């Protein structure tokens, strides 16, 4: 058993890639749901007041950040494990698991935060439809939800930055 865990094998790398995939997929799904929700509400506002399209677009784009954070963590994992350069480093099962777990914080926090930020953005569409001057308020309300994705991303990124130390 010990040997399986400590010997460098493709399983280690596979776990790292699984973490990258998880971060990118789950955070991306969260953002897709969020942007979708906000976009539907935004289309309603645009139909009534086409001149607000610019503001609607910005509000719709706010829940998109989670997907970007997920992508970034995935990208960093691929880069630090050498997959981007085509020369993957050797990882033991345990090292791979360490790297792979880096995908969880940004993935899960990104999913829930993205989906819910979308709802707040959608509700914010009502604010700008009634009073375009209150755009800033709608944005801040929506950005409150993003906080937790930011924190998840922060932890994920900090773990990924430790990869060279882990792999050494």
Nearest to other proteins of 12, 152 (CB atom): 152
Does position 69 bind other proteins by CB under 8 A? yes
Nearest to other proteins of 85, 126 (CB atom): 85
Which of 64, 99, 102, 167 is the binder for other proteins (CB under 8 A)? Answer: 64
Instruction: Identify which of 69, 143, 75 has the alpha carbon closest to the alpha carbon of residue 106.
Output: 69
Build a one-symbol-per-residue string for 125-154: x at contacts with other proteins by CB under 8 A, - elsewhere. Answer: -----------xx-xx--xx-xx--xx-xx
Does position 158 bind other proteins by CB under 8 A? yes
Instruction: Identify which of 27, 162, 48 has the alpha carbon closest to the alpha carbon of residue 95.
Output: 162
Which of 21, 25, 79, 94 is the binder for other proteins (CB under 8 A)? Answer: 79
Instruction: Identify which of 105, 125, 166, 118 has the alpha carbon closest to the alpha carbon of residue 146.
Output: 118
Nearest to other proteins of 93, 104 (CB atom): 104
Q: How far is the CB of 104 from other proteins (least distance, A)?
A: 16
Nearest to other proteins of 1, 168 (CB atom): 168
Does position 71 bind other proteins by CB under 8 A? yes
Site for other proteins, rule CB under 8 A = 58, 61-62, 64-65, 68-69, 71-72, 75-76, 79, 84, 136-137, 139-140, 143-144, 146-147, 150-151, 153-154, 157-158, 161
């Amino acid at each position: 058993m010990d040997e399986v865990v400590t010997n460098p094998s493709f399983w280690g790398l596979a776990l790292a890639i699984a973490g990258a995939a998880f971060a990118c997929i789950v955070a991306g799904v969260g953002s897709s749901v969020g942007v979708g929700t906000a976009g539907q509400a935004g289309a309603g506002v645009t139909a009534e007041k086409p001149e607000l399209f610019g503001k609607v677009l910005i509000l719709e784009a706010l829940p998109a950040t989670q997907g970007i954070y997920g992508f970034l963590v995935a990208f960093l994992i691929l880069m630090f494990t050498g997959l981007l350069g085509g020369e993957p480093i050797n990882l033991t099962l345990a090292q791979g698991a360490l790297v792979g777990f880096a995908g969880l914080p940004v993935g899960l926090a990104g999913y829930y935060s993205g989906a819910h930020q979308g709802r707040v953005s959608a509700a914010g569409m009502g604010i700008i439809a009634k009073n375009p001057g209150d755009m800033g308020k709608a944005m801040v309300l929506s950005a409150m939800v993003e906080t937790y994705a930011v924190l998840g991303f922060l932890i994920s990124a900090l773990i990924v930055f430790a990869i060279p130390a882990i792999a050494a």
